[in-house]
Amino acid sequence: MYLQGVPREASPSPEPVLQEIQRQLERGGSWRLPVDRIPDLLDLEHTEFYRQVYTAVNRPGGTVDYSTLTQTFDRESVGELLGVLELICGPQAEEAFTGFGLFIPHVLRVELTAILLETARIEAAGHHVDRDAFEAMLRTFRSYESAREIYFAEYFSEQQIIRSASERFAQDRTFRFPDLAFQNAVDVLERLFSRRILELETVLWSIGAALFEIAVAAGYARRSGEDYNTGGRADDGESTAGRLDHEADRLESWAYSVLELDPERSDMSMIKRAYKGLMLRYHPDVNPRGLDKAKEINRAYSVLLEAVWP
């Protein structure tokens, strides 16, 4: 919804707001923007600006609320600031904020999550499971779950994987403020981990599978017959290597099913497209009931990254 009396083609540009934010960033590394500065920056009448914001507040399903009328926006509330500017400037506001590095829209959040999973795959591929260390952890804690948690904490850094993925995201695109885009990417990924949409045990699933086999051999874990949600049953007569291969085959088949793909006709580009399409539909940011499905999709993509990625 644009300001009444302002034709679509004459909608103000959000650029003056971005320039003010840029001036503050260059001075001190942070920014704050009181709501009453927006009409001045956009050369609008205050009364008309507030009338339109108030109208939007009272509109069912609106993107702003009463706090907007007195808010001072900052990095934590950039989404609310963008909501106000979209009322005035239209869709160009989101595009401008994205290019600046201030805001990561949903489609790019899905892309960022895919980069995180690809980064974790590289971490897993470069790690050789320390069997002796894990067996010692099992003996010490006498619990597979506790030992696994300690092993992941000892050998992997959630924060480092997040930062590596965020760096790649910020460098692969042209942002006016790459450092700002990097920090926003870190924030997005940290929230995904805090909400358990992403978990180290999921993104590093092959490490977890190897640890599980060690725990089974040492008597600290037992196969339930439905490991990894694939519904199969392992043959206790197999060697450890044979069981891992067998488990990987079943898990790969399950992953193709989750991503709604034919394993005989799907290459990596098709797997990526399927992953992103499903996450756009089920990500909890846009689908409140999509949490479990999103976690399943993330795990399936992690599995196929390891199985198919060259």
Tell me the mean pLDDT in the region 127-140.
96
Distance, CA of 161 to chain centre: 12
Placement of tokens 């001072």 in the chain = 72
- Distances in whole angstroms, Cα of residue 147 to Cα of each of 25, 41, 127, 153, 212: 45, 57, 17, 10, 10
pLDDT band, residue 217 (cuts 50/70/90): very high
Residue 234 pLDDT exceeds 50:
no
Q: SS3 for 32?
A: coil
Q: Taking the model in full, what pTM does it have?
A: 0.83
Residue bearing the bigger pLDDT, 115 or 200: 115
Which of these, 68, 70, 90, 69, lies nearest to 79 by C-alpha position? 68
Tell me the mean pLDDT in the region 294-298.
92
Which of these, 28, 161, 177, 9, lies nearest to 89 by C-alpha position? 9
Per-residue pLDDT tens for 174-201? Answer: 999 999 999 999 999 999 999 888 988 8
Strand segments, DSSP code E, in the chain are 33-34, 72-73
Which of these, 26, 55, 28, 24, lies nearest to 37 by C-alpha position? 24
Task: Give the single-character DSSP code of 59.
Answer: S
N residues, the chain:
310
pLDDT over 90 for what percent of the chain?
61
Q: SS3 for 143?
A: coil
**CB count, 10 Å around CB of 125?**
11
pLDDT band, residue 243 (cuts 50/70/90): low
- Take residue 186 and report the two structure tokens written for it: 């870190």
